[in-house]
Chains A and B, each alone.
Chain A
Amino acid sequence: MRKAGALVAGLLLAGIAGPALAAKANDTLVYASDSEPENLSPYHNNLREGVILARNVWDTLLYRDPATGQHQPMLATAWTWVDPVTLDLTIRDGVTFHNGDPLTPEDVAFTFNYVLTPEAKIVTKGNVDWMKSTEVTGPHSVRIHLKAPFPAALEYLSGPTPILPAAYFKKTGLDGFSKAPVGTGPYRIVSVESGRSVKMVRNDKYWPGSPIGRAKIGKLEFRIIPDADSRMAELMTGGVDWIWRVPTDQAEQLKSDPTLTVVSAETMRVGYLQFDVQGRAMENSPIKDVRVRQAIAHAIDRKAMVDNLARGGARVMNALCFIEQFGCTEEGVPTYAYDPAKARTLLKEAGYPNGFDIDLSAYRERDYAEAVIGYLRAVGIRARLNYLRYAAFRDALRAGKTSIGYQTWGSFSINDVSAFTGIYFRGGEEDLARDPTVIADLQAGDTSTDPAIRKAKYAEALKRIGAQAYALPMFSYPSNYAFSADLTFTAQTDEVPRFYAASWKK
C-alpha cells in the first residue's frame, strides 16, 4: 500500500497543474490528520490530535517557552513551593472563558479535583496522579497538595493540564462538554462534527498579555482524513493547508512543488532496542550476557540509518532519553561506534563464534526493524522479525516472551527525563533489567527537588544503563510537515503544532 502510495505521489507530481488554492483569501487554516479524538475534553483522550486542540483552545497555569525551556506565568501569575509537596499559585484576574464566565480559583480547584476522581474516568491519568488535591486559599489563589515530591510538576502544569470551566462543566456533564467544549484559549470551538471536522474561530476576547499572544489567523479547521494519499491530494488541490507525518519518500517528492513548504523536524520520539536482560524469553538466552548486548550495539550503524532511513532532523541518541529533556545527558555514557569486527570479537568472547538465532519484535517502522536485522545478520546474529500490533508487542515484552524489542517512546512531550527513563528502568512493569542500582538512582532523581541532585542521579543511571547495554538507544525520529507556501509555521520537537502562532505570509 505504501509503495503504491509513493507511485501515485510520483504521478501526482508529474501531472500537477496550476497553483493550489490558498485559503489565505478567507483567512481559514485547514489542517488534516488521520485520527479522531474519542472525546474533545482534553483529559478524555490521549491522542496527539486531542493535544493539538487542547493547546489551541485551552490555557494552562504555566507556559513553557519552547525556545528557552523556561516556565512563564500563564493562568497563574506566580507560584511558590511551600515545601516539596505543597505548591501555592496565584490565579490571574480578568481572564474569561469562551462562554463569558470569568476564570476563578474555583475553576482550577474543580478541574484538578475532578480529574482525580475515579468517576471522571480520564484517560491521561499519568499526567495528573502526582497531585493529591487542590484547594482554594483566597480570592486569587489555590494550593496544590502533592502525593510525594515531584520536581517535574511545573512541566506538567504547563502542558497536559488545561483548566476547565467549573460551572459550565457541571451544567453540561462530560458528554455535553465534549460536544460543545469551552476553554480560555486563543481559539474557541464553534462546531464539532463527529468523524469529520472541528471548526474554530479566533477568541477575540483573549486575555491580553498571554505569553502565546493572540492568534494571527481568524479561523481554524481540523479535518479528519484517514488516508495518507488522500491527505496529500487534498493539500495539493488546496482543500487543506497543512498536513504532517508525511512519509519521507513522499516528502522528498512534495518538495518539488513550489506552492508547498516541506519541513522535516526532529521530534522527542526516540527509537531503541529493549533487551530481555533477565533472559526470560528463551532458555540460556545469549542476551543475558553483557558482551552480547554490547556486540549488538557495535553491530548496528545507527548513523547510516539516520542518514538513509530516518533522515531530516533525526539524531543518533546514546543515552536512553531524548537529549533535550531535563536530566538527559550523554556525559559518561558509552557511545558504541559502528564496529562489526569488534561485535564479532565480543560474540566470540561470549562463546558464540558462530552467532545464534533469536527473535526481534517490532510494532512500527518495519523498515527500521528490518535494517537492524540486516546489521545483526552481518555479524552472525540471525534475528527473526515478529511484527506485531502494539498491544501484542507490549504484552510480549512485559511478559518476557521476546528477546529483543524495537521500542519507541515519545515521553508525552514532557521535557523531563522522568517521563522516559523512569518508565523503563525504575522497576515497573516495563523494566526488563531490574537493576537495583539504576532503580535507586532513578527514584532519587525523580523525587528530589534539587535540580543538581536530579541531574547527578540521572547521569549515574544513564551511565550504567549504557555501560551494561540494558537498552540500545537508536535515534530521535523526524516528522515531516507539508503546508501551503503561503503559511508561516514553525515545528517544535514536542510535536505540538502551535497554530495560534502561525500566520499568512504577506
Chain B
Amino acid sequence: MLGFALRRILVAIAVALTVSVASFLLLHLSGDLATAIAGPEATGEQIAAVRAQHGLDQPLVVQFGTWAWRALHFDFGRSFYFPEQVTDLVAARMPVTLTLGIIALAVALLVAIPLGVLAAFYRDTWLDRAALAVSVLGQAMPSFWFGLTLILIFSVNLRWLPVSGNATWKHFILPAVALGYYAMPAVMRLTRNGMLEVLSSDYVRTARAKGLPPRKILIRHALRNAVIPVIALAAVQFGFMLGGSIVIEAVFSLQGLGQLAWESIARNDFPVVQAIVLVLAMIYIALTLAADLLNALLDPRLRS
C-alpha cells in the first residue's frame, strides 16, 4: 500500500509540474505580453519598460525557473494589474469559490443519490427513464445557458432570487444549482449502476427472502455498498466544479477565483493566472489522489 501511495504521489507531482509549464507556455502564445500589459495606448518606450520591469526580456526558461522557485515558497509575485500580491488576491477570492463548490456539490449529491437509488429500484419504469432524461439534459446543456435560463425564470419572471453578486446566502442558490446540475448526472448514474449491481447480489436476495421491508434493504444493505465509489467520484467532481465555476461565476457575477481567472486571462495578468491554475490543479490533483488512495484502501485489487 505504501509503495502504491508513493507512486501515486510522484505521478501527482509530475502532473502539477506539467500543468504549470503548460499554462506558462500557453500564455506566451497570445501575442507579446509586454504590449498586452502596457495597454492599448502605450508607447514603444513604455512597453520596453514593462518588459524590463517584469523580466519579460529574459529567456523563457529563466522566467519559468524564477517563477517556479518563488511559487515553491508561496510567493506568486505582484499582480500585473492590481496593486496587490497575488497570494492576497487569490486568498481573498478563494472562499467564494469554495463556498459555491461545496453548496453545489451538496445540491448535486442530495438530488443525484436519491434519484439514482429510485431509478435503480424502479428500473425500466417511467421514473427510471425520467431520471435518465434529466441526466442527459444536464450533460448536454452548456452551463452558462442553464445559468441564464435560471436567471430568466427565478429572477426576472418570478422575482424570487437576486440576479448577481454574493451579498447574501440567497445569491448562492441559483449559481449552486447551475453548477451542481453539471456534476449531478455522473453521480446519478454511478449510484444507479452501483445499486443495480448490489440489488442483484446474493445478500440482498437473502435479505428479501428474510422478509425485510424494501426501504430497509435499500438504505441499510444496498446503498451503503453502492455509495462507496460515489464518494470517490464526488471528490473528483468537486475538483471539476472548481474549474467549471469560471463560467458560472461570470454569469452570476460572483467574485470568486473563477472570475478572477477569467478576467486575468483577458488582461494577461500573468502571475495571477499561473497561481490560479496551479492552485486549482493542486486541489484537483489532491482530490484525485485522495480518491485513488481511498479506492485502493477499499478494494485491494486496485493496488497491483
Chain A positions within 8 Å of B, measured between CB atoms, are 1, 4-5, 8, 11-12, 15-18, 35-36, 38-39, 44, 46, 123-126, 174-175, 178, 194-196, 223-227, 229-230, 233-234, 236-237, 239, 388-395, 412, 428-429
B156 in complex: contacting residue of A12, A227, A390, CB < 8 Å: A12
Which segment, of B41-49, B123-131, B180-188, B198-206, faces chain A? B41-49
- Chain B residue numbers with a CB within 8 Å of A44 are 83
10 cross-chain CB contacts under 8 A: A8-B152, A15-B152, A38-B81, A44-B83, A46-B41, A125-B46, A234-B163, A389-B30, A392-B32, A394-B31
Q: State the Cβ distance, A54 to closest chain B Cβ, in Å.
A: 16
Q: State the Cβ distance, B185 to closest chain A Cβ, in Å.
A: 21
Mask, B113-156, CB within 8 Å of A = 1, is: 00000000000000000000000000000101100110110011
B259 in complex: contacting residue of A124, A226, A233, CB < 8 Å: A226
**Roughly how many angstroms separate A123 CA and B152 CA in the complex, as a whole number?**
40
A227 and B250 in contact (CB under 8 A), knowing A239-B163, A394-B35? yes
Please report which residues of chain B, range 260-303, place their CB below 8 angstroms from some CB of chain A when the two chains form the complex.
Answer: 260, 262-263, 268
- Counting CB contacts under 8 A, is B224 at the interface? no
Q: In the complex the two chains form, is B152's CB within 8 Å of A391's CB? A: no
Q: In the complex the two chains form, is A233's CB within 8 Å of B36's CB? A: no
A237 and B156 in contact (CB under 8 A), knowing A226-B262, A230-B164? yes
- Chain A residue numbers with a CB within 8 Å of B44 are 429
- Minimal Cβ-Cβ distance residue in B for A124: B41
- Counting CB contacts under 8 A, is B238 at the interface? no
- Chain B residue numbers with a CB within 8 Å of A389 are 30-31, 36
- Counting CB contacts under 8 A, is B244 at the interface? no
Pairs A-B, 6 closest by C-beta atoms: A392-B31, A391-B36, A391-B31, A195-B255, A225-B253, A391-B35
- Chain B residue numbers with a CB within 8 Å of A36 are 263
- Chain A residue numbers with a CB within 8 Å of B236 are none
**Roughly how many angstroms separate A391 CA and B80 CA in the complex, as a whole number?**
15
Q: In the complex the two chains form, is B156's CB within 8 Å of A16's CB? A: yes
A388 and B31 in contact (CB under 8 A), knowing A15-B157, A196-B255? yes
Q: In the complex the two chains form, is A229's CB within 8 Å of B148's CB? A: yes
Q: In the complex the two chains form, is A226's CB within 8 Å of B156's CB? A: no
- Counting CB contacts under 8 A, is B51 at the interface? no
- Counting CB contacts under 8 A, is B92 at the interface? yes
Q: State the Cβ distance, B154 to closest chain A Cβ, in Å.
A: 10
- Chain A residue numbers with a CB within 8 Å of B163 are 230, 233-234, 237, 239
- Chain A residue numbers with a CB within 8 Å of B83 are 38-39, 44, 174-175, 178
- Minimal Cβ-Cβ distance residue in B for A8: B148
Chain B positions within 8 Å of A, measured between CB atoms, are 30-33, 35-36, 39-44, 46, 81-83, 92-93, 142, 144-145, 148-149, 151-152, 155-157, 159, 162-166, 250-253, 255, 259-260, 262-263, 268
Tally of contacts, chain A with chain B, CB under 8 A: 124
- Minimal Cβ-Cβ distance residue in B for A229: B148
Q: State the Cβ distance, B220 to closest chain A Cβ, in Å.
A: 45
- Chain A residue numbers with a CB within 8 Å of B152 are 8, 11-12, 15, 233
Q: In the complex the two chains form, is A38's CB within 8 Å of B82's CB? A: yes
A4 and B255 in contact (CB under 8 A), knowing A123-B39, A391-B268? no
**Roughly how many angstroms separate A242 CA and B82 CA in the complex, as a whole number?**
26
Q: State the Cβ distance, A411 to closest chain B Cβ, in Å.
A: 10
- Chain A residue numbers with a CB within 8 Å of B42 are 125
- Chain A residue numbers with a CB within 8 Å of B164 are 225, 227, 230, 233-234, 239
- Chain B residue numbers with a CB within 8 Å of A429 are 43-44
Q: In the complex the two chains form, is B165's CB within 8 Å of A390's CB? A: no
Q: In the complex the two chains form, is A239's CB within 8 Å of B162's CB? A: yes
B40 in complex: contacting residue of A16, A175, A234, A394, CB < 8 Å: A394
**Roughly how many angstroms separate A225 CA and B251 CA in the complex, as a whole number?**
8
- Minimal Cβ-Cβ distance residue in A for B256: A195
**Roughly how many angstroms separate A224 CA and B260 CA in the complex, as a whole number?**
12
A4 in complex: contacting residue of B30, B145, B162, B263, CB < 8 Å: B145
- Chain B residue numbers with a CB within 8 Å of A229 are 148, 151, 251
Q: State the Cβ distance, B186 to closest chain A Cβ, in Å.
A: 24
Q: State the Cβ distance, A425 to closest chain B Cβ, in Å.
A: 16
- Chain A residue numbers with a CB within 8 Å of B31 are 388-389, 391-395
Q: State the Cβ distance, B123 to closest chain A Cβ, in Å.
A: 36
**Roughly how many angstroms separate A234 CA and B251 CA in the complex, as a whole number?**
11
Q: In the complex the two chains form, is A226's CB within 8 Å of B41's CB? A: no
- Chain B residue numbers with a CB within 8 Å of A196 are 165-166, 255
**Roughly how many angstroms separate A239 CA and B156 CA in the complex, as a whole number?**
10
